[in-house]
Amino acid sequence: MELIYSTQKTGFDPEKRYRNPEHFDRPEAGATQVVVVGDWPKIVEAYESRGVDVSVVEAPQRVLVVDQVDQAGLPELIDQLRVERDGIATLIEHAESMELPEHPGAGDLPIRLFDALTAIHAGFASIKDERDGLAGEVEVLRTEVASLKSAADQSKAEQDRVSALKAKLDEAGVTYRANASVESLEKAVADLSKE
């Protein structure tokens, strides 16, 4: 089986098997011949160590062809790209210092980035306000819980006192109303000591 290791994205021969060399981790079993396009020494060494015939082909060079007509507008394009680069650099510096910068005024990318940063800043401000509001609500709830806990503790203490007073009256054989108040029970217990 012949394998071709290449980073090409088009121009594949349907009769051949291709692999992307960037994803190579080990030789494939059954390979009898390997073609490596470009400089991938790890692949070459791995297959040669298994005795597989490996041939290396130089990767085709990509050349940027600039049309003579377009060259007239090239300085203008370069100036525009510099403005955008400077605007983005300024926005990044402000973002790193957590400041909201001034509107860049020029360049599509800096303006879009400024708008995105402004929206993010507004979102953070909204979240902070909501957090502060929730913190206030939590404090109110803590106060209410403490108040309810105190009331429950007082109620428990009062129930214990009523039970103790009723136990004394029961021991002395004194009758009392089931829903008697603490004051009436205290008075009845005090009367016991007078007898």
Q: What are phi and psi of 50, to 5 degrees?
A: -95, 0
Side-chain-facing half-sphere of 168: CA atoms under 13 Å = 14
Q: Is the pTM of this model over 0.85?
A: no
d(CA 70, CA 195): 121
pLDDT at 154: 78
3-state class (DSSP) for residue 120: helix
Residues 116-163: pLDDT tens digits?
888 888 888 889 889 988 888 989 899 999 888 888 887 888 888 888
Q: At what angle do helices 74-96 and 108-172 cross, to 10 degrees?
A: 20
Residues 13-58: pLDDT tens digits?
898 999 999 999 999 999 999 999 999 999 999 999 999 999 999 9
- Residue 39 burial (10 A CB sphere; 0-12, 13-18, 19+): exposed
Choose among 93, 95, 94, 88: nearest CA to 111.
Answer: 88
**C-alpha distances in Å from residue 46, one per residue of 22, 32, 40, 71, 169:** 14, 13, 10, 47, 99
Sheet containing 33-37: which strands, arranged edge to edge? 17-19, 2-5, 33-37, 53-57
Choose among 37, 46, 41, 42: nearest CA to 16.
Answer: 37
Encoded tokens for 114 = 């400024």
d(CA 154, CA 67): 92
Percent of the chain at pLDDT > 90 equals 27
